[in-house]
Structure 1
Amino acid sequence: MNRPLDSLTQALLDAATKAGADAADALAVEGSSTEIDVRNGTLEQAERSEGTDIGLRVFIGRRSAVVSSSDTKDSTIATMAERAVAMAREAPEDPYAGLADPAQLARDWDIEALEMCDPTDAPSPAELQEDACAAEAAALAVEGIGQVQSASAGYGRRQVHLAASNGFSGGYWRSSRSRSCVAIAGTGLEMERDYDGDSRTFQSELRGAAEIGRRAAERALERQNPRRPKTGAYPVLFDERIAASLIGHLIAAANGAAVARGASWLRGALGEDVLPKGLSLVEDPHRPRIAGSRPFDAEGLPTQARALVEDGVLTGYTLDLANARKLGMEPTGNAARGTSGGPSPTPWNLALTQGDKSRQELIAQMGSGLVVTSMIGATINPNTGDYSRGAAGFWVENGEVAYPVSGVTIAGNLRDMLRRITPANDARGWLSRVVPSLLVEGLTLAGE
């Protein structure tokens, strides 16, 4: 019988104290996952994993060290603690290291309200294989699709428990089920591919496998016979599927670790306009059934709803304890960690204000320009925000999609780009990052 995770974390803390640690925190993660891939209607690959991982972080004054293991025997836990303390004694001092003050810790959270784990039975491997086969069959049934690169289905469930010598102890379960398909149209050098997929906390909300396969096929067909547009400055519409990556650069620049290192184009930008007036970027880690939801962070601090950007103005950074201390600010409850490393600041669920126009209406007002549906690589200067990425999508003429495009490079400066965005109203509300299609005027395109 598996040992309860709260018991494991307490055993780690006890061992750390016995080994001579001044303070410690411990993380235990137990989970299982199944991934199924099919090809030509038959099983190609099946992966099943399950296990328990434990991690221990110890402090000797302002020195710290982290150790981890997948062996939960008492003898291993004792050895881990002794090794961690020995490592910490040799580590350099960090004036910002340390656990949270007990007054900062999360208390009285309502885990049931977050609905982070589906209570229904896990699907069998046969059911997952049926999902993948149905997606593949639906894609191949679309005329013009020669093959399916991959059709997959998966399910995972895990339990997390965190405890620390400052008195914190808490845990939760999380689940997810997914379906995906990548379809290929054309042959030889004329092949084009595209995908569709979905992942949900509750299985009943997952989009149908046939719909996913069919949509992947339709997208692949739409990309056939691409051209390269002429080099110049044009409006660019970032499709909803990839618009979150553009906002992701803003989120990365507002990360407290980057700001504290001086490697962010948003350092010193608090109180400045970073988005158009009227747009806000709101974090809400308490949305039910969403992958980024959680009642507390990896340092035991309460998570909270907050506006990262409000009415276009940058109002805060994403901070864990150490980086908050470096910057002389309050932590925001955004620490994340695994069993083998220390905490780092990570944003939870984010939503950008949506606009009042549809994606099609924004395309109609573009005149001539580019709709980007996929991106390749990235060259981004973290200090200046200079931006360059390869892209593919569709060329727009006279406000209508004219032909598919590939082999184009988009260039600009993120600080300028983000202040010129116009959002559509097509964001998917069940994602962790709810970002609609975004129109940006006057970007440089390198084509023919």
Structure 2
Amino acid sequence: MTDLADLTHRILDAARRAGAHDADAVAVQGTSIAIDVRQGQLEKAERSEGIDVGLRVLLGQRQACVSSSDSRPEALAAMAERAVAMAREAPADPTVGLAEAAQLAQVTDTTDLELYDPSPEPDPAALQDAALRAEAAALQNPGLSQVSETSAGYGRRQVHMAATNGFSGGYARSDIGLSCVAISGTGTGMERDYDYDSRIFQTDMRSPEEIGRTAAARAVERAGSRRPRTGAYPVLFDERIASSLIGHLVQAINGSAIARGASFLRDASGTQVLPAGMNLTEDPHRPRAFGSRRFDAEGLPTQTRAWVQDGVLTGWVLDLATGRKLGMPSTANASRGTGAPPSPSVTNLALTQGTASRDDLIAQMGTGLLVTSMIGSTINPNTGDYSRGAAGFWVQNGEIAYPVNECTIAGNLRDMWRGMIAANDARPHLSRVVPSLLVEGLTLAGD
């Protein structure tokens, strides 16, 4: 295993020798395994290992980023020289720059966040066995036509970041996952659905049999889907896809969009965007959550904050550069890969849950649509107008009546968010803990 802390500091040394005024570097070393099975046979087995390094150099108000998978000393020197040459030609930007030393995180140990499973890497044969068990369990459902794909995977990676302002910190992450996609019906009457699980710790995974059975049951439930009626109806977004509504909110309060004036929420800070009593909270320190981290990609300490408090929007998601553009401090939300400069993004989110179950909301909605899957997306960033293809189940008199597909739901996100009613069914281990959400009065385009 390469010493990534030493590697990032060698990259910084190369940048200084090449003429950089300031620089930061990131190194990622990882292993991934991917297994696909179909019809009881192994269809694909892939394993990859490698190191990726990224360097950002600054010459006054000019910056450039380069990346490489070659960590030899001569390659690092060439990368640094190339980055400095690029920076000399880059346009000046008064908002670029590293954090001040006083802003940097003092605690970088992530052990308590449990981001890495120390148990041995699973054998590819064990991943294949799990996928085969999920497929076999799905095929036990007599209403199923086929299992189109079953996949199992594992990954682990070490990350280290360092900068000329004195920051140096790293962490390890691991993940394991299993998914099954099932199909009911034949020809033009085919309907597909899925189930999956993805965790940091292998012992937290649901059983392959449960995943296969659930995927099959969902696909069979969708057999005989037809288009719903056209009109204005309440729509219940199932927990599996409800987080997309919150994703649109997060995109609209991203500092990059705000700084460009390209968000319909650009004047909404301090105003009501969700129902009273509803909070949207970010917790980057939640154990065993994929988004957790002690410091952001610029070395600033992360913290828990409410982006929406009692329904009121509290501010923007910022890194250092977007904060400078808006005359605000960073919210320690910088993220980055090896080939690009930092940009704002959120970590773990949780939306206030309600007291009603999903079934309670189905009964409450009377007649309308339960959406379980969505395709396509047309979101007007300047107005919040929303239109997406959807499939799910028609609800009649408070009960699920029949499956539906090939319909479009439309509305305006501002109105949708302010009228949402939350269920109590969010899965707590996900990075985005969002329950099923009932939205009144959306326009459905079907038959």
Fold conserved between structures, TM > 0.5: yes
- Whichever residue aligns with residue 72 of structure 1, its letter is S
Show structure 1 runs of 4+ deviating over 4 A.
Answer: none
Query: Which residue in the other structure is 1:92 paired with?
Result: 91
Query: Which runs of structure 2 are paired with 1:9-408 in the superposition (5 Å)?
Result: 9-408=8-407
Report the Cα distance in structure 1 between the residues aligned to 2:38 and 2:227, rounded to whole angstroms.
33
Query: Which residue in the other structure is 2:2 paired with?
Result: 3
What are the superposed Cα offsets for residues 368-398 of structure 1, whole Å, 9 maximum, x if unpaired?
0000000010111001100000100000000
Report the Cα distance in structure 1 between the residues aligned to 2:250 and 2:86, rounded to whole angstroms.
34
| Aligned partner of residue 315 in structure 2, secondary structure | coil
What are the superposed Cα offsets for residues 67-111 of structure 1, whole Å, 9 maximum, x if unpaired?
111000000001111111111011000110010111111112441
| Aligned partner of residue 17 in structure 1, secondary structure | helix
TM-score (norm 1): 0.99
TM-score (norm 2): 0.99
Question: Share of identical aligned residues, percent?
Answer: 68
RMSD: 0.7
Report the Cα distance in structure 2 between the residues aligned to 1:410 and 1:39, rounded to whole angstroms.
34
CA contact (8 A) 2:65 2:339 kept: yes
- Whichever residue aligns with residue 37 of structure 2, its letter is V
What are the superposed Cα offsets for residues 266-309 of structure 1, whole Å, 9 maximum, x if unpaired?
10211000000000000000000110001111111111100000
What are the superposed Cα offsets for residues 220-257 of structure 1, whole Å, 9 maximum, x if unpaired?
00111112122111000000000000111001001110
CA contact (8 A) 2:193 2:218 kept: yes
How far the C-alpha of 1:187 sits from its partner, in A, is: 1.1
What are the superposed Cα offsets for residues 399-428 of structure 1, whole Å, 9 maximum, x if unpaired?
000000111110100011100000000000
Count of aligned positions: 447
How far the C-alpha of 1:188 sits from its partner, in A, is: 1.2
How far the C-alpha of 1:3 sits from its partner, in A, is: 3.0
- Whichever residue aligns with residue 46 of structure 1, its letter is A
| Aligned partner of residue 331 in structure 1, secondary structure | coil
Report the Cα distance in structure 2 between the residues aligned to 1:303 and 1:130, rounded to whole angstroms.
40
Query: Which residue in the other structure is 1:436 paired with?
Result: 435
| Aligned partner of residue 99 in structure 1, secondary structure | coil
What are the superposed Cα offsets for residues 292-331 of structure 1, whole Å, 9 maximum, x if unpaired?
0011111111111000000000002111110011011111
- Whichever residue aligns with residue 176 of structure 1, its letter is D
Report the Cα distance in structure 2 between the residues aligned to 1:45 and 1:227, rounded to whole angstroms.
35
Report the Cα distance in structure 2 between the residues aligned to 1:377 and 1:3, rounded to whole angstroms.
42
CA contact (8 A) 2:384 2:413 kept: yes
CA contact (8 A) 2:107 2:294 kept: no
5+ residue gaps, structure 1: none
| Aligned partner of residue 37 in structure 2, secondary structure | strand
- Whichever residue aligns with residue 367 of structure 2, its letter is S
Report the Cα distance in structure 1 between the residues aligned to 2:205 and 2:196, rounded to whole angstroms.
10
- Whichever residue aligns with residue 304 of structure 1, its letter is Q
Report the Cα distance in structure 2 between the residues aligned to 1:426 and 1:263, rounded to whole angstroms.
33
| Aligned partner of residue 365 in structure 2, secondary structure | coil
- Whichever residue aligns with residue 417 of structure 1, its letter is M
- Whichever residue aligns with residue 402 of structure 2, its letter is Y
Report the Cα distance in structure 1 between the residues aligned to 2:271 and 2:195, rounded to whole angstroms.
37
Report the Cα distance in structure 2 between the residues aligned to 1:228 and 1:30, rounded to whole angstroms.
48
- Whichever residue aligns with residue 84 of structure 1, its letter is A
Report the Cα distance in structure 2 between the residues aligned to 1:330 and 1:87, rounded to whole angstroms.
28
How far the C-alpha of 1:44 sits from its partner, in A, is: 0.1
Report the Cα distance in structure 1 between the residues aligned to 2:303 and 2:40, rounded to whole angstroms.
46
CA contact (8 A) 2:175 2:200 kept: yes
| Aligned partner of residue 77 in structure 2, secondary structure | helix
Report the Cα distance in structure 1 between the residues aligned to 2:10 and 2:109, rounded to whole angstroms.
26
How far the C-alpha of 1:40 sits from its partner, in A, is: 1.0
Report the Cα distance in structure 1 between the residues aligned to 2:360 and 2:293, rounded to whole angstroms.
37
Report the Cα distance in structure 2 between the residues aligned to 1:22 and 1:218, rounded to whole angstroms.
60
Report the Cα distance in structure 2 between the residues aligned to 1:256 and 1:294, rounded to whole angstroms.
20
- Whichever residue aligns with residue 412 of structure 2, its letter is N
How far the C-alpha of 1:154 sits from its partner, in A, is: 0.5
| Aligned partner of residue 378 in structure 2, secondary structure | strand
Report the Cα distance in structure 2 between the residues aligned to 1:141 and 1:238, rounded to whole angstroms.
29
- Whichever residue aligns with residue 314 of structure 1, its letter is L
5+ residue gaps, structure 2: none
Report the Cα distance in structure 1 between the residues aligned to 2:157 and 2:248, rounded to whole angstroms.
29
Report the Cα distance in structure 2 between the residues aligned to 1:369 and 1:145, rounded to whole angstroms.
27
Report the Cα distance in structure 2 between the residues aligned to 1:131 and 1:256, rounded to whole angstroms.
42
| Aligned partner of residue 145 in structure 2, secondary structure | strand
- Whichever residue aligns with residue 284 of structure 1, its letter is D
- Whichever residue aligns with residue 140 of structure 1, its letter is L
Report the Cα distance in structure 2 between the residues aligned to 1:3 and 1:174, rounded to whole angstroms.
16
Report the Cα distance in structure 1 between the residues aligned to 2:398 and 2:2, rounded to whole angstroms.
62
| Aligned partner of residue 339 in structure 2, secondary structure | coil
